[in-house]
Structure 1
Amino acid sequence: MNAVISKIFSNWLRKLVALVLAIIIWFIVNQTLISTRTINNVPIRIINLPPEKILEGIQTNGHLIKQLNLTVTGNKTIIDELSSYDLEVVLDATDKPDEFMGTISKKNLSSLNPEIDLSKVIKRVQYPSFIVRMTNLVTEQIPIIITKPIGEAPRGYQFLNIWPYRLLLTVQGPEDTLKRLKEKELRLTLNLNEVKKSQLDALDHVEQEVISFFVPDYWTQIKVPSLSDVPISIDDPNAKLLRIDFIRSSFSPLNYAIPVSLFFPIETLNKLNPDTVQLAESTLLKKIHGQGVLQIPLLVNGLGPRFLNLIEKMIQIEIIVIPHAKQERLSWNVQLVNPRQLENQYVQAFNGELVDPDILLLAPILREEYLRNRFRSYVNRLLLFKTDETKLNLSISLKKNVITIEEMDSSVSLTTPSNL
């Protein structure tokens, strides 16, 4: 054992010098080893753009959407570890024309990693040719259409409407990009699932016809990938008024019988017309002074009391009369008589006695637009239900120029539109 130890430590000074020299040689050799590899998706940043110019596809962080695959040659130790997160290409647009070839040398590479000095690491850069295109920087107002929300309303409530249904977004960007966006318009779709029942319950007051949920600011952001990599806040002042209107989910009885009328298409008037076709009385339909009237008790659901009081005398069922050979059952729909006049009366009623305090926030012209939009939303959801709260389905047939109206089981699917 002592002989082994003695052998190890014999000539120790020479051995130490040899070890130090070996380490130095390894370090020098390692530092001088050259490697070449391709780094994919390296970001590009353009600096010193003229104030009136911008680049197509530039992002908020100054990078272009376009990225490059760079082949770099340099110190093997560092090159082998480099990624696209460690560097970017920086091009100077000073005194450049609107279109110029991108030229890259190692001087155009900027380190995003403070621990790496690219000027000492990279010897040569190869890249695919590309063109940088500058365009005019302009300011435009882009229309935003607020679409019908997705999702479901909280339990006990029904979605009525959303208002305003059109906003404007003021943005700066490339002229051609903004032109395309303006022609196409943008879409913003809200999600009813994000509205909590507790929020509507807190807003629900007996005297209010409609519960208006004003959307929070973070909902009024829109993604425009061609302009920004982050959502853009809508700066239209009317965005503060953006609301989702809900109505309580409740059934109300109709206090008046509903007249039934016939519509005869012009192309079949020679055979089918008021002189040749008649409505047959049944358990559902009675005739009063020659006018067919649907006399079964009916309900409506999710309509404001002011709207219902105004229109319940003006509801009718219209049957479209066409030859039996073209359609086994006749189509029918629920409609209002003179809806324009009823709409005007609805608006005037609210202007005379404003019950909903939220409407007071609106300027007169916006108030009228909002109320007309609410009225039309009610009209679109006007459906008839039976007393057991199932949807009214009618089977209407034409045989030997006699129209018969019968009730159909709600579970049966109709092949023609009904109760629309």
Structure 2
Amino acid sequence: TLDNIESTDLEIVIDAKNKLDDFSFLITKSSLVSKNAHLKIEKDIQKVDPIKLSVSLSNLITEKIPVLFLKPTGNAPKGYELLDIWPVQLFVTISGPEEEVNKLKITGILKRFNLDDISQEELNAINSSMQRGKNNVVSYFIPTSWKKVFISSISNIPIDIDDPNANSLRIDFKKNDFLPLKVNIPIVLYFPSSVLSKYNPQNTVIKLDENVISKNGMYFLNKKIYAQGVNEKFIDIIKDHVEILICIEDKNNNEPLDWNLNYVNPKKLQTRFVEETLKDTTNDILKKMPLDSSEEYLKDRFRKLVKDNILFLSKNQKLKLIIKLINNEIIITQDNS
């Protein structure tokens, strides 16, 4: 019956011999070719209503089309956190109509993986086989069966991504290690020019209490601080180059002041992170990458570690400061709500 016939069971054959321009074609029963051995056109198809089809001729060209990998969907397995996907762009060789292929060259092809397809057992096995040292990154190399793109205007089956760099395609995860910072973080005040007449370094001080200490003329946060989702190498490099930067503003009704974790000379820290990571002889992944690719990869990793770094007082309590300016005195407390 007609209900048992799939679209892939039949093909329409068009005779384009000696056709140099666009033309019209009448589809009849004789135009059909069966792709299913069990489907006999003469026997199983009684009638085909003729349909007039317009055919546009186009040059067949072959081009390399960029494939852009977006941030994966889904959730990372328990105990891990998504770091990044690398490389973020590959190329696939496409053959098809000139107009369609040229359009794809401009727009590219977007590809997105699903983290729900990666199990905790798989990442644990990879982690167990690694010589981690001070590294907490677990790399999941994308299976060959995933390295395909579907372009309905070009092909009715997925097309393999044939870029040689596809062998390096992977999703990197951070192991959620909980590591001590091992230093007291300096507290620095920033005075915008608009407030200097009222608040300045000569008349504004930080209150010393159980949260803040003073040493050698500098203020420090008097709390044991932990970081999660980073590695020991990252902490070793940044621990003496981070500060809590408080922006002094003339706010009403004891409204809290803004603050952020500031990295001093981040470009230099990034360079050091790249150089020291490249010296790691246990990292087989970096060994196999070209130097320029590995350097760019590590720069990107450092930027993401900086962006995602969150400080904790304990595993269940983030560092969440409430900072108020009262009578030219800055009072710092921890928000325990």
User: TM-score range with shorter-chain normalisation?
Assistant: 0.7 to 0.9
TM-score by length of 2: 0.84
Cα pair distance change 1:93/1:276, threshold 3 Å: farther
One-letter code aligned to 1:114 = K
Q: Does 1:224 align with 2:151?
A: yes
Conserved 8 A contact 1:215-1:243: yes
Match of 1:92 among 15, 18, 23: 15
Conserved 8 A contact 1:89-1:108: no
One-letter code aligned to 2:304 = S
For residues 266-303 of structure 1, give each alpha carbon's deviation from its aligned partner in whole angstroms, at most 9, with x where no partner exists.
66666555456443333322233442211211111121
Cα pair distance change 1:225/1:404, threshold 3 Å: farther
User: Equivalent residue of 1:328, what SS?
Assistant: coil
Q: Does 1:309 align with 2:236?
A: yes
Q: Does 1:132 align with 2:55?
A: yes
In the aligned structure 2, how far is the partner of 1:92 from the partner of 1:271?
A: 87
One-letter code aligned to 2:25 = T
In the aligned structure 2, how far is the partner of 1:394 from the partner of 1:358?
A: 39
For residues 148-180 of structure 1, give each alpha carbon's deviation from its aligned partner in whole angstroms, at most 9, with x where no partner exists.
222222233333222212212221222332333
Q: Does 1:328 align with 2:255?
A: yes
- Mark the runs of 5 or more structure 2 residues left unpaired by the alignment: none
Q: Does 1:110 align with 2:37?
A: no
Match of 2:132 among 191, 204, 207: 207
Cα pair distance change 1:277/1:178, threshold 3 Å: farther
Match of 1:240 among 164, 167, 171: 167
- State the Cα distance separating 1:147 from its structure 2 match: 2.1
Conserved 8 A contact 1:299-1:389: no
Cα pair distance change 1:372/1:388, threshold 3 Å: closer
Q: Does 1:354 align with 2:244?
A: no
In the aligned structure 2, how far is the partner of 1:158 from the partner of 1:118?
A: 56
Number of residue equivalences: 328
- Structure number with greater Rg is 1
- Mark the runs of 5 or more structure 1 residues left unpaired by the alignment: 1-77, 413-420
Cα pair distance change 1:267/1:108, threshold 3 Å: farther
For residues 210-269 of structure 1, give each alpha carbon's deviation from its aligned partner in whole angstroms, at most 9, with x where no partner exists.
222212111212222332232222111111111222232221111111112234456666
Conserved 8 A contact 1:324-1:399: no
User: Equivalent residue of 2:314, what SS?
Assistant: coil
User: Equivalent residue of 2:81, what SS?
Assistant: strand
Conserved 8 A contact 1:141-1:182: yes
- State the Cα distance separating 1:82 from its structure 2 match: 11
Q: Which residue of 2 aligns with 1:75?
A: none
User: Equivalent residue of 1:300, what SS?
Assistant: strand
Identity percentage of aligned residues: 32
Q: Does 1:297 align with 2:250?
A: no
In the aligned structure 2, how far is the partner of 1:81 from the partner of 1:391?
A: 60
In the aligned structure 2, how far is the partner of 1:98 from the partner of 1:329?
A: 73
Cα pair distance change 1:134/1:285, threshold 3 Å: farther
Q: Which residue of 2 aligns with 1:387?
A: 314
Q: Which has the higher contact order (CA 8 A, sep 6+)?
A: 2
Q: Which residue of 1 aligns with 2:70?
A: 147
In the aligned structure 2, how far is the partner of 1:156 from the partner of 1:201?
A: 9
